[in-house]
Amino acid sequence: MAKKQCTWPGEDALMIQYHDEEWGVPVHDDRKLFEFLVLDAFQAGLSWKTILHRRKNFAKAFANFDYKKVAKFDEAREQELLQDEGIIRNKLKVKGTVINARLFMEVQKEFGSFDKYIWQFTGGKTIDGKRKDTYEIPATSPESDAMSKDLKKRGFKFVGSTICYAFMQAAGMVNDHLITCARH
């Protein structure tokens, strides 16, 4: 039987490219981890396709995901972002992103890198989901529950277990490519 890709990207070229080149690939770069933290937070209540198609706009709005710059955003900059039609204009998500950037750097100070901190939730390894069908992919896991609880305790915003699980998939902390997918 020939391997094929997962079904969730559908026919959308950008979704297929994301699936084929990024989703599930282990990420250890703090800036890229911050990018996924931002994008997954903005995804809350929306589809990944909506966020992915605005990714370049998010990069422009949030200083190319430079958390050091985002941490310095003030109220005036937040108000500017709320006028930016290229992103999701949600006041709590914009404010949460700035808060998260500041907390991201606190975690870096404590652990040496955000990477060291975040990968502890999977023991430093990718969890192989071994899924046969899309419906088997969970929305949360014990690991995403633990990650969410710890991030919330530290003051992070938009880090519920479902968002954390999506982050884990994006950052390659869990491999939820179907076993029939060439990317598995």
Domain ranges of the chain: 26-175
Is the pLDDT score of 5 beyond 50?
yes
Question: Rounded to a whole number, what is the distance in angstroms from the first to the last CA of the chain?
Answer: 14
Please state the residue numbers annotated as binding site for Zn(2+).
6, 19, 177, 181
- 147 pLDDT higher than 60: yes
> Domain spanning 26-175: which superfamily?
Hypothetical protein; domain 2 (1.10.340.30)
Burial state string for 128-160 with b = 16 or more CB within 10 A and e = fewer than 16: ebebeeeeebeebbebbeebbebbeeeebbbbb
- The pLDDT value recorded for residue 1 is 47
Binding residues: 6, 19, 177, 181
Summarize pLDDT for 27-37 with one digit per residue, the tens: 999 999 999 99
- pTM for the model stands at 0.95
